[in-house]
Each structure stands twice: as C-alpha cells, then as structure tokens.
Structure 1
C-alpha cells in the first residue's frame, strides 16, 4: 500500500520565513541587485528572468542590456547616452516583438534588450522562415478610368499544387519594410504584403494601347514619399522596350485600404531595353542596354485647358556611352539641392581581364549637369579574367561577385577607388547580393545559402542562413536544375530572398504559418522566403 505524503502547513504572519520573491524585493534594494546582476552574461540573465516575475523585471533592466550590447556590438552611432524619455531602470514596456519593429527600435536606441536580441539572432543565424509562392499572377479589380484607384484583391498565398507556368527569365523584385514587388514575364507588377503574407493587388499599365506588344519588366525600384509630405510609396519600373512607368500606392502598411494609381508612362522611339532605373523625389534616372543614361523630372501640371492636372516628364540631361558592359547599378543620393548619381558597371581591360568602374554625376533640377567624375581601381597582381555576376554600390562600398565564386570589395575614399579585399566563402557563383553602406552589412546568395558579412571585418561571414540550397546541390546531378536565389534584400529585422524553384520537387516546411508537405507539378515556381530575426512565437 502506498502512502500519501503529508503536507505541513507553512507558517504565516510576521514570523514567517521570506519567500524567494520576498527575498529579492524585501531584503535587498533594486540598486544592489542590479549591481550584482551587472556581472552576469546574457545567458545567465535570460535564465534568471524565467524564475519569477520579480527576477524577470530585474533581468530585463535596460541598463544591464545597454552595457552588454555596447560591449559586444561596439558601434559608434550607438555608444551614446539613452535619449530623454527612456524607460526608468527596472521598468520595461511589455510588448510582443516583431521584425517589423526592428527599424524603430534601432533608431530610437531605447530598448537595448530588444536590440541585443536582434543583433544576437543576426550573428547566430536564428530566424523564423516563411515560404510563399508568388508565381501565380495577381489579379486586380478593373479600373474604369486612367489614374483611378485599384482596390486590393485577397489572394490565397498557400502553395499552389497544379498551376504553374514557364518563366523565361528570373523574376524582377524590389523590397521595402511593408511590401514586396515581384514582376514575372508580364508588364504587371504583383504587390505582396509582408506582415499579412498575402497579395494586395497588382500594378498595371493603363496608358498602353491594346494593339501594342506587351513589354516585360526589366528593373524596379521603390521610393518612399515621406520627403514629399505624405506616407505613400512610389514605384518605377523599366521595360525591355525602353519605356518606364511610375505608380503611387497607399495602404501598404495595413492601416487603410490598399490602392494605387498610375502617374505617368514614358515611351521611347528607339525601343532600347532598360537595364537599370532609380528614382528620388520627382527625379527618375534610367540606363539602357546601350549605356544611354537619361535624367528626367516629373511634374504634376495643368493641361492647356486648365481643367485637369496630369503628370509630365522633362528631360534634364542625357549621357551617351559607346557601349554597355553589364551588370550596371544606379545609386542616387541627395545633399541639399544637389543630386549625386553613382553608376557602377563592369569594364574590360587588357588581357581579357574584367574590372569595375564608377562614375559620379552631380546635377540639380535647375542647373542640370554640374560635374562628373570617373573612378577606376588600380590593377592588381592577381589576374581577374572571370566575369562579374552582379554589382552593387552603396557609398562608400562597391561589391562585385565573379563567376569564380569570389566576391571583390572596393572602397571609395576621396578621389580613389581602392580594391580592399576578396571574400572566399561560396562554393558556387553568387547569384544575388544586397549591400547597406551605412551599417557596412553585405548579404550574398548562391546555391550554398545566404551569407551575412560585415565589411568592417570581412574575414569570414557572420552567419549563414537558408542552407537548403547546398542540400539540393548535393542531390542534383545537373546544375541547371538547381534552385538559385535571384534576388536578396534586407532591412533591420528581415531578409527577403526570391528564387525559381526546380521542376517536380517535393517541398516541406512552414507555408503561411502551417506545416505542410505538397507535391509541385512540373514547371518552375517562384519562391519567396522571408527570414525574420525578431519575431516571437
């Protein structure tokens, strides 16, 4: 016969022994406990915070995590006093962290606990991945008149089973904190919400004549209109017939109903395809496959009868080159009333070698072209015969991967473009890259995964995410059937990658928050992956 354990009554009242919670809050003051906790590591503080509410409050103190953050991530822009109005010691605002909050958290520099978690996850490769198939065309409600409002159409973002179509080229993608734009083999641009993991609608050209052959999108860029006084987004898309279109959309943040309108479409008589496009304020810069760089200013002016306003384009300046050596990257900056355009491109040299070149064009709306500069790095002793697979310039860094699996890094300092280092980490050619010059963060993507670099210390990658590519590489016999990332973008809390899936592949994982395993029929699909570094389950 088993005996039950007798329970003794615990003493209560003035002579009762203090509980652990009473010991923390009654015996020692918070100042003494925080002084003791300052000797603990981030792992010890995390374990201690799970003991009780009192210890969780003390272990979440901002002064503790500020010291840990600045000790491990010594960034000069963050090594300053906490701004006024920050939470007092031991008091933390309770909220569910999401990757969409990473940007405000890093800019405000108040919640050092969340800042530490975010940067630790980046360095350790801890993330939550979401897979979305964006290969299906996104429908939008018809617009009755040009410039009208398009309403959002709810599209099921679950992985389709039987619908797919062949894509002749890689998808063209652009990314910002709220939306992702994907253009397939059509003139339309699909708009997807990151927070809702669903399609909002599509951007279509209304001013194109029905008899014309539908062009294909070659390049896209997103631009925020916050500098113009309203929270809208503008999208510029360049096409293979030399034309370009500007849209404006709103409701992408989920606070209101999504809508968009076409502002202007500019066609070219020569019908030479565009390879790069960029936009800032009302300035649009395009680069064609013949290295014809055109500077446009768009304005909303009245018609001649003064009854209706319409958008018009004015050519500010045009630069013509003898030939174009892709890849090409355009980066537009503003300083006061002047604009600086940086054109990074590949250039051949002697002995069948390839090098990079950088042009800086300074102009203004009123005066047009002001000055131009050309930068070329000095030749190195190492032969560079491999062609470039991509190029990106974000001041002061220029990054250019080559077909020999290397990534070359250059730095612009004054009037000199210097070859800084070569990154050796990929087992195959880099097919996608993105760069942030302010934080010196670089992400390169290939069949062996996405690698995160810090150009301040580019000895080895900080971490590697999405290792599914290398597992597919080991199983496939033909390199042509491997699924490669064709685009990668990132912000403070997320990485977005787009790739073309292989044929007849059985995939499993988390699709729109659900564990699923589905068979994909023949035909390449466009897969979108979102890696979130601050999401809490």
Structure 2
C-alpha cells in the first residue's frame, strides 16, 4: 500500500508535540545554590578563582570564601611538608586565608612592593632597628620611634625622646599580652624597658650596670639578658606589681658570668621551656689550624630565676674531647659534634660577619659570598650543634642575616641590593626544594630603569641613580610575616630604611 502523504495538519501536530516535550524554562549557573557553587569552585586553581571574582558580586563573595582558601593554603604550603598524611589544625577562625595565601605565595616567588623611608639625617649616629609583628622599632640619638603600615604606606606612629646621655647600642623586642616590650642597651652599661601600645611609648623600668658597653640584649618576661664588650653576661629578673604589662618594682641579678676570651659577633636569645627559661648565647671562635667554629652556651633557669644547669657545645670535635668523654674521667657538661669549620681555604679564614640564633636554627654569614647553617639539638639530655651546611646564592659578601624559629631566614649583601629568602627546614632535612629566592620589587621599574625610560637611550638621568645605588651600604636586615626591612647608609651618612611588603 502506498504511504500517505503528510499533510499540513500532521506537521503542526509534530511541532506541537516537540514543543510540549520541553519542561521548564532555561537555567544558568547562577541559579544553582551557594553550597553547590562552593563545591564547584573548590576544584578551581587559585588563578581561576581570582578571575571568577570578576564575574559578579555574588561570585566574588563565593570565590573569596575562607574555607576554600584555607584548603588551598594547606594543600599548597603545609601538607606537602608533612612526612605522613595527617589532619592539620590551625587555631583561630578569624584568619584571612586568602590574604595569607597571597602573602605566602609572594614570599615563595620573592615578589614585594618596595617603600623607602629616610629615618635619620646626619649628623645622627647609626640607627638600630627591629621588626616585630608589623611594627618597626627604631632608635637613634633623636629618640625611640615606631613605624607601621597605614593605608599602604609606612608612617611614624609614635616618638619618645631619650634623656640618656649615652648612645644606644642594641635593641630587643617581645610581645606581652598584646603589648610590645622594647629593651634598649646603652654604651654606659645601662638598659631601659619600654612598653609600646596604642601608638605611644611608656617607660617601665631602668637599670645601670657595671658591665660596661652593652653588645647584645634579649628580653623574655620576666627575664632580661645582656652581654657587654667587657666579656660580661648578666641575667636579670624583672619583678612586677600586678600584671606582666605593669611597671617593674624590683630588678634582681640572677646570674653574672665573665668570659676569658672576647667573642664577636654573637647572638643572644631567651626562650621559654617547660622547666622555666633558657638563656642562650651563640658565638664564633677560632681554633688553631681549624678555622672559625661555632660555639653555643645554654643556661637553664627555673621560673623563679634559680640556675639549674649550664651547658656548652661547639661545631668542632677534637681527639682530646672524644678520649675524655669515652673514659668519663671528667664530669663534663660540654658535648660536641663533628662539623666542617666555617672556612675551607686558608685565604678565606675570616670571622663571620654576623650571627643569628633562634632555636633550633643557627646561621652565620661570611665574607666569601656564602652562609653556614646549623641545626641545634637541645633537650634534657644533650646539647649539640649538627653538621653545618654551606649555602650559596649571593654574588657579593653577605653583611647580615636573621632567622626565626620556623627556619625562614633573610640575608642581605653589603652592596648590590641583593636580598634573599631561605627555607632552612628544606635545606637541613634534604627536602627537595630550591635553596633560596631573591626578593625583587614588582611595583614598577627600578629607579635606574625608570630614569632610562624617561631619557630614552641616554644615561644622563640614570647616572645619579646608579651612583646612589653604589654608595648605599646595607648593614642590617630584619623581617616578620609580612615584610622585610633593610637598613642602609648612604655616602653622606643618611640612614635609609627599605621596606619590602609581601601583602
């Protein structure tokens, strides 16, 4: 039977049937609930999350969710360092995880915004500085000052004139119940303790010692430690009236030692332990035909200031030391561990330019463009300095460095504006990672390049900038979680503070 030809009525019926098969109206991505969108966004890489924030206000709020960025932070920077799978717990729910991820990423890449401050003009003496929780404390003959960030710039927040007739030589800071404590040491052996809170300084206590010019100080409430150029090490107990933030009513000397030899440079620290307080002094000394070595002395104190134990350790072991310990003829509290001396070649046997010790990391900077890193073991049974690791990366002599107790270190070359960040935890444990990262300013062209851009191919405007860069002598570096501060001095003795901001 021949097929019946389709009529217009049949075509209309098919079209109506096709239209009836559609259910509901069209839906887009924004019709999905926030819970499902957060789940989808959690699979995006950080770069795509930042792009998603530009879609709409709703997507900006979702892409900036703290839970997503917390997971990104832990997966990128925390869990890869763990030797076994475990749950990472970080206290505090008010953490801005996105900002923390950004800061950590900038640290890893060495990218920072550069700001410069003129902190002192001649004829002012050398400026001493310390970075502490976003606040930069500086002291010079004009007084004690505090600098901090405000709307992206560094401003002077507090100034306290000093009435002392002697020049300040050293500085230490700590945080006590939200208040910054500042310990200043002076040329005449005196020291002062200030409290910084709410943009103002307040004098807490003062003391005049007979130790002579102070070389280094450290503060950990209620104890203070000083080391003088006359080879005296003194530990004080600061008694307070009611609370840690109140003024001292009594200062007592807990211990006072004198060394037979003079050591420089040195690094001192006070840290808390379950049994009380541990006072430590790290120093460099020279052994005959062995180059320069590291030494460390620890003095353990109870909570009331009673001396429990004093121990020594060095980075070089001799045959006499091994034999005496093996026969147990002497009741020695000194323990040694083998290590390479600081200088390998006789022509480079010069003392370290600086030392920095924050348990368990000890570093020394050398004039041959390298650094030495040591891992210190300090427990109830022993005190040892582990084998040293030489660190390469700088292209000129390293003038200063600072390390924290988590293994992050920052070093500065004497000339060349070369600042490097080191992750010593990776270096000392053999974790596969790059040794260091050079910090570079990313906010624009450098001053020399900018001058060339303004002048074209000429050098006229660039030469003054190049001359200023070559004349700038950098001699100190400090850092916290968000910034690096470099203190330098120009040829006309103007003190300049360069601030590298990673936020």
Q: Distance in 1 between matches of 2:67 and 2:370?
A: 42
Instruction: Pick the structure with greater CA Rg.
Output: 2
- The aligned residue for residue 194 of structure 2 is 247
Structure 1 stretches lacking a partner, 5+ long: 1-13, 84-105, 136-163, 209-213, 253-257, 303-308, 504-522
Pairing partner for 1:172 from 128, 134, 153:
128
**CA shift at 1:277, angstroms?**
0.5
Pairing partner for 1:60 from 64, 80, 104:
64
Aligned ranges 1:495-534 → 2 under 5 Å: 495-500=484-489, 502-503=490-491, 523-534=492-503
Whether 1:412 and 2:376 are equivalent positions in the alignment is: yes
Larger RCO (alpha carbons 8 Å, 6+ apart):
1
**CA shift at 1:33, angstroms?**
4.3
**CA shift at 1:42, angstroms?**
1.7
- The aligned residue for residue 30 of structure 2 is 25
- The aligned residue for residue 45 of structure 2 is 41
- The aligned residue for residue 215 of structure 1 is 166
Are the aligned partners of 2:111 and 2:441 in contact in 1 as well (CA < 8 Å)? no
- Normalising by structure 1, we get a TM-score of 0.69
Change (3 A) 1:321 1:111: same
Q: Distance in 1 between matches of 2:268 and 2:441?
A: 28
Which secondary structure does the structure 2 equivalent of 1:366 belong to? coil
Which secondary structure does the structure 2 equivalent of 1:398 belong to? strand
Which secondary structure does the structure 2 equivalent of 1:134 belong to? strand
Aligned ranges 1:127-526 → 2 under 5 Å: 127-135=112-120, 164-167=121-124, 170-184=126-140, 186=141, 188-195=143-150, 197-206=154-163, 214-226=165-177, 231-252=178-199, 258=200, 260-269=201-210, 272-300=212-240, 311-336=249-274, 338-351=276-289, 353-364=291-302, 366=304, 368-377=306-315, 378-380=338-340, 382-383=344-345, 385-414=349-378, 415-438=383-406, 440-446=407-413, 447=415, 448-458=417-427, 459-466=434-441, 482-500=471-489, 502-503=490-491, 523-526=492-495
Are the aligned partners of 1:121 and 1:127 in contact in 2 as well (CA < 8 Å)? yes
Change (3 A) 1:367 1:32: closer
Q: Distance in 1 between matches of 2:159 and 2:113?
A: 27
| Aligned positions, number | 420
Which secondary structure does the structure 2 equivalent of 1:313 belong to? strand
Q: Distance in 2 between matches of 1:353 and 1:475?
A: 40
Are the aligned partners of 2:365 and 2:400 in contact in 1 as well (CA < 8 Å)? no
**Cα-to-partner distance string for 1:405-440 (whole Å, 9 max, x where unaligned):** 1110000125321134211111112222221112x2
Are the aligned partners of 1:408 and 1:419 in contact in 2 as well (CA < 8 Å)? no
Change (3 A) 1:345 1:473: farther
Q: Distance in 2 between matches of 1:474 and 1:423?
A: 34
Q: Distance in 1 between matches of 2:162 and 2:61?
A: 55
Q: Distance in 2 between matches of 1:17 and 1:125?
A: 51
Structure 2 stretches lacking a partner, 5+ long: 1-21, 316-337, 428-433, 450-461
**CA shift at 1:484, angstroms?**
3.0
| CA RMSD between the two structures | 3.5
Whether 1:72 and 2:76 are equivalent positions in the alignment is: yes
Are the aligned partners of 1:166 and 1:524 in contact in 2 as well (CA < 8 Å)? yes
**CA shift at 1:474, angstroms?**
12
